[in-house]
Amino acid sequence: MSEEEGNSGQVVKGSEEAIFLVENLLRKKLSELPVKIYRAAGDSIVVEVPRRYLRDAANAVHNDLDAYVRTCAGCDEREIRGIYAVYHILGLDNYGVNVIIKVAVPENDAKVPTIADIAPGADWCELEFRDLVGIDLTGRPTHRLVLPDDWPDGLHPLRRDVPYGVRPPPVKREEVSLIEIERPGIPVGPYHPALHEPEYFELYVEGETVIDVRYRGFHVHRGIEKLAESKLTYKQIPFIAERICGICGFCHSTCYVMAVEKAAGIEVPERADYIRAIVLEIERIHSHLLWLGVACHILGYDAGFMHTWRIREKIMALAEYLTGSRKTYGINIIGGVRKDINKEKVPKVLEVLDFVEKETKNLADVLLSVPEVKRRLTGTGKLYREEARKLSVVGPVARASGLYRDVRKDYPYLAYKHVSFKVPLYTEGDNLARTLVRVEELFESISIIRQLLDTMPGGDIRVEEYEIESGRVSVASVEAPRGEDVHFLITGEGRPYRWRVRAPTYQNIPALRAMLRDQQLADAPITIASIDPCFSCTDRLVIVEVSGGKVRRVRRINVVKVAGGKVW
């Protein structure tokens, strides 16, 4: 048992008692500051703090209370209050409580102090709201992260007065190349050869050793957040939420509906909670098998790749049998689920689980004994615990570096409080540890599904009648196969006022820099793959459709202008 878990022994995570404790702690810690502390929907506490005390408050919560950055969001609230607002969402794992630090930003002086030096996990999301909402940052070097280089200055797509679907003419800029490092940059991308997703890494090498790495992403902007905030209705969004990711779609739709249900106080029938949890675990099994296969493929062991995917196919068919779609699409709605898992289906599920468990055990045994695979996984792509904590990494990456962090345990949701399972924990932090965490989780997932099927209560699977009040704030999170998904929601009239999605890869990519440095170049592909990156998830949110041709874009990406020599 790790120390983090030990701390929380006294209170049930996420319970009323825990929230009360955190509230008192906050009052004590922040007593010197002029703050307003109040409860938001569910397990969240809002701390409203004046702009000039933001850094003090963030420091107290992040460092003294041992919280970590879940995400942050900028919001254009000029229509309601005549201000912009910035929300920093910090998670207190030990209590299962979210603390939302809210800062009001006046319209005529849209600037906030940075907290990225206090909490490095906030680095990206700060730059994101700078790009999208146009709230500038003070006290840190800034550069464009999300918007493409030829997007005009001063046009911030997530502002409410910018209509959906704006396509401004591209702005020609002088291209400045990276000159700080006079080493050959080896490009990986803009299309990952094995993961089949757009990303771009530039590896700087000295001989065969990687000395630095830069990442340029956000190529697959789809504008989902803007679309939801300006065009769709509450009921339509689950169907676009599940399309944020091609693997963990159900995690995103669950996360969204949970955020809405929390905000509106909708009591979901227990049976629906069980069904959602079962489908989530099925998704985890197929995702981990997929990853295992791809890892073998990258290491040149294609026989292993084919056999893992042979086993995975059974799980995909099972997902289709339970939800009507191989990708588990289309059954999550606000208030419950649309498809029941009735008694007749249970024997078939158990049969498939038995098959998958047996076959995977056999195969994992073989895979991990292949000398090439073992040697290339062991000791490569190391991420040490301290670094992992500082960067707020999540999911199997965190657990392989000795951080006991799992949303299913820390922020109990759905039916997970009714089952017992182990969270695999390794301290080595190398590629082998991340592989082993995933393999073990697979078996835990199988056991979770068996327990859930065994104890599933009867009753309805959905509630039809509900009302969603506007102006409520909620945070929901789900442990996706790659880590935690966090959805932050402010309700509005008929559709969310603000819906912020943070995918796990968003937190994990910055850790790649630490993993790749001083490694052999040949190990870079497997190390990049070892965080199980999902670039589409990460890039989900801008409206941008660059009008320039593809070839031009590739060339441009090569020459990102960097302020202060930092791309991260």
Partner 1 sequence: MVKKLRFVKLISVARKARTVTRKYPFEGPLITEEFRGEVRLDPKKCIGCGACIIICPPNALTLHDEGDVRVIRYFVGRCIFCGMCAEVCPTNAITITKEFELATLATEQLLRDLVHERVKCRICGKPFLPAKLLKAANDDIPGSDNYIDVCPECRAKLGLKGILEHRMG
Residues in contact with partner 1 by the rule CB under 8 A: 232, 235-236, 239-240, 303-304, 307, 310, 313, 317, 320-325, 329-330, 338-339, 359, 362-363, 365-367, 369-371
Give the whole-angstrom CA distance, residue 180 versus residue 42: 48
To partner 1, the closest distance from the beta carbon of 256 in angstroms equals: 13
Where on the phi/psi map is residue 279: left (φ > 0), alpha (ψ -120 to 50), or beta? alpha
Nearer to partner 1, 329 or 421 (CB): 329
Find the length of the chain: 568
| Coil vs helix vs strand at 384 | coil
Half-sphere CA count of 48, side-chain side, radius 13 A: 9
Tell me how far, at minimum, the Cβ of 22 lies from partner 1, in Å.
Answer: 38
- Give CA–CA dist 516/533, Å, rounded: 14
Cβ-contact 326, 316 below 8 angstroms: yes
Sign of CA pseudo-dihedral 505, 511, 513, 515:
negative
Q: What's 402's DSSP letter?
A: T
For the chain, the farthest-separated pair of C-alpha atoms sits apart, in whole angstroms, at 66
Residue number with CB closer to partner 1 (309 or 384): 309
Write down the least CB distance from residue 241 to partner 1, Å.
11
Under 8 Å between Cβ of 201 and 529: no
CB 152 within 8 A of CB 93: no
Do 538 and 503 touch, CB atoms closer than 8 A?
yes
Distances (CA, A) of 533 to 26, 59, 291, 313, 367: 35, 30, 10, 21, 22
Note whether 90 and 121 are within 8 A (CB). no
**Please, which residue, 40 or 331, has the CB nearer to partner 1?**
331
Q: Which residue has the tokens 């910035």?
A: 86
- Closest of 386, 399, 369, 382 to residue 523, by C-alpha: 382
In the bound state with partner 1, the residue whose beta carbon lies nearer, of 339 and 556, is: 339
Q: Return the number of the residue (166 or 366) whose C-beta is nearest partner 1.
A: 366
Q: Which is nearer to partner 1, 72 or 341 (CB)?
A: 341
First to last CA, the chain: 34
Q: Considering the complex, what minimum distance in angstroms separates the CB of residue 239 from partner 1?
A: 4
**Least distance to partner 1, CB of residue 440, Å:** 19
Please identify, using beta-carbon distances, which residue of 331 and 480 lies nearer to partner 1: 331
Beta strands 83-92 and 97-106, pairing class: antiparallel
Contact between 443 and 356 under an 8 Å Cβ cutoff? The reply is: no
Work out whether strand 44-48 and strand 473-480 pair parallel, antiparallel, or are unpaired: unpaired
Q: What's the min distance (Å) between Cβ of 279 and partner 1?
A: 13
Q: Which is nearer to partner 1, 71 or 435 (CB)?
A: 435
Q: Is the CB of 83 or the CB of 370 nearer to partner 1? A: 370
- Cβ proximity to partner 1: between 61 and 334 the closer is 334
* Minimal distance, residue 461 CB to partner 1, in Å: 13
Minimal distance, residue 479 CB to partner 1, in Å: 25
CB of 366 to partner 1, least distance (A): 5
Cβ of residue 320: shortest distance to partner 1, in angstroms?
A: 5
Alpha-carbon distance of 473 to 35, in angstroms, equals 18
* Rounded least distance, CB 322 to partner 1, Å: 7
Q: Which is nearer to partner 1, 237 or 468 (CB)?
A: 237
